[in-house]
Chains A and B, each alone.
Chain A
Amino acid sequence: DTGVSQNPRHKITKRGQNVTFRCDPISEHNRLYWYRQTLGQGPEFLTYFQNEAQLEKSRLLSDRFSAERPKGSFSTLEIQRTEQGDSAMYLCASSPRLAALTDTQYFGPGTRLTVL
């Protein structure tokens, strides 16, 4: 399968714990996005990488959230001191082109986070 993969698929944690999610984009895709989606809502933009550079972050991304894409390939999203409000589906998407302002985004299956 050469699509976007995300791990783990499900994560249950206690409030106050740290969690880390991984996203492996489609090979050679330069662009990588993280989103958060809650029930009944569309995906909310969290952050964007172009290769290894994090070029944009949403105001939603508090200082408890950090994302990296160290070699321009896979990316991680860490949430520190989780809160119950962090419970959501975390989606990663990758996109192939740099020329277009916005190109087709290919989504991974998501990581569902439940904070108890």
Chain B
Amino acid sequence: RKEVEQDPGPFNVPEGATVAFNCTYSNSASQSFFWYRQDCRKEPKLLMSVYSSGNEDGRFTAQLNRASQYISLLIRDSKLSDSATYLCVVNPNTGGFKTIFGAGTRLFVKA
């Protein structure tokens, strides 16, 4: 089993739609969780951190479910500019500083 798994998609949605991605992680001791966004041929950039209580930033909401070992990202009112690959990132807390990236979920928002 991979340490971090994501549905690769692609997700094709119309503008204005709500879309949700999940990401599962295998190490129950994992401490830190993030969503990064990567545009085609660009470097990853932090979208948001994921806190135990969940967090919201505008149209984006991230949640953590420790019991089921997954994090989620919800995008409301999708924009064309949201088209990108969304990477789930986990620190497995194995005593080091290694961070694990999922393979990413591709999102296409169409007019």
Contact = CB atoms under 8 A, between A and B. Distances in A.
B31 A42 contact: no
A40 B103 contact: yes
Contacts of B32: 100-102
Interface residues of B, number: 23
Chain A, interface residues (CB within 8 Å), range: 20 to 34
A102 B93 CA distance: 9
Nearest to B42: A109
B43 A91 contact: yes
Contact of B97 (A31, A40, A41, A91): A31
B35 to A, nearest CB: 12
Contacts of A110: 43
A49 B72 CA distance: 30
Contacts of A100: 32
Contacts, number: 60
* B interface, over-half SS: loop
A110 B100 CA distance: 18
Contact of B99 (A45, A50, A106, A109): A45
A27 interface: no
B47 to A, nearest CB: 11
B58 interface: no
Given A33-B97, A42-B102, A42-B103, 10 more contacts: A41-B103, A42-B87, A56-B97, A101-B31, A101-B91, A102-B91, A104-B34, A105-B46, A105-B99, A108-B43
